[in-house]
């Protein structure tokens, strides 16, 4: 639908999708494969940022695991799980705009270099920079 509204990806029509590609209905596989295909066609003009739903724990709870196992098998699900670990956790657009799926950091002074040092090829931990760039839900408490 977004491509119908904004045109297909190209060198003159770049895209950056900011995570949570799966667990949003019964077509997660098709959405992911479409996004991967566009990334293969336009690697310098099509970007995918990992969200908190590109994690094993949420895939199990919110349905992507069941979808893949129903349509394919556990081996295919494991391939998706591994692939999600290689998605970038942040992008910096035009050296001015930081794009992360999550929200604010729990401490001041986090720099791009700190994000770049994160070992992203793993499942997200329960705390730290990787956790915060993937998942920072609003809270009723005062603070950030």
Average pLDDT, the chain: 94
Q: Is 91 a catalytic residue?
A: no
pTM of the model: 0.90
Catalytic-role residue among 45, 53, 70, 91: 53
pLDDT of 144 reads 65
- Mean pLDDT, residues 39-63 taken together: 97
Give 87-113 as a DSSP string: S-S-EEETTTEEE-SS---SSS---HH
pLDDT of 139 reads 72
Cβ distance 26 to 64 under 8 Å? Answer: no
pLDDT of 136 reads 75
Tokens encoding 56: 């094993």
């Amino acid at each position: 639908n977004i491509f119908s509204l904004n045109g297909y990806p190209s060198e003159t029509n770049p895209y950056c999708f900011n995570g949570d590609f799966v667990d949003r209905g019964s077509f997660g596989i098709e959405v992911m494969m479409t996004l991967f295909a566009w990334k293969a066609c336009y690697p310098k003009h099509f970007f995918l940022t990992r969200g908190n739903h590109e994690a094993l724990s949420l895939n199990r709870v919110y349905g992507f695991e069941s979808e893949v196992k129903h349509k394919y098998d556990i081996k295919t699900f494991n391939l998706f799980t591994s692939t999600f670990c290689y998605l970038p956790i942040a992008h910096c657009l035009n050296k001015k705009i930081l794009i992360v799926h999550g929200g604010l950091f729990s401490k001041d002074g986090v720099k791009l270099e700190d994000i770049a040092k994160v070992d992203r090829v793993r499942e997200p931990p329960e705390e730290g920079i990787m956790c915060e760039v993937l998942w920072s839900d609003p809270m009723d408490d005062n603070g950030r």
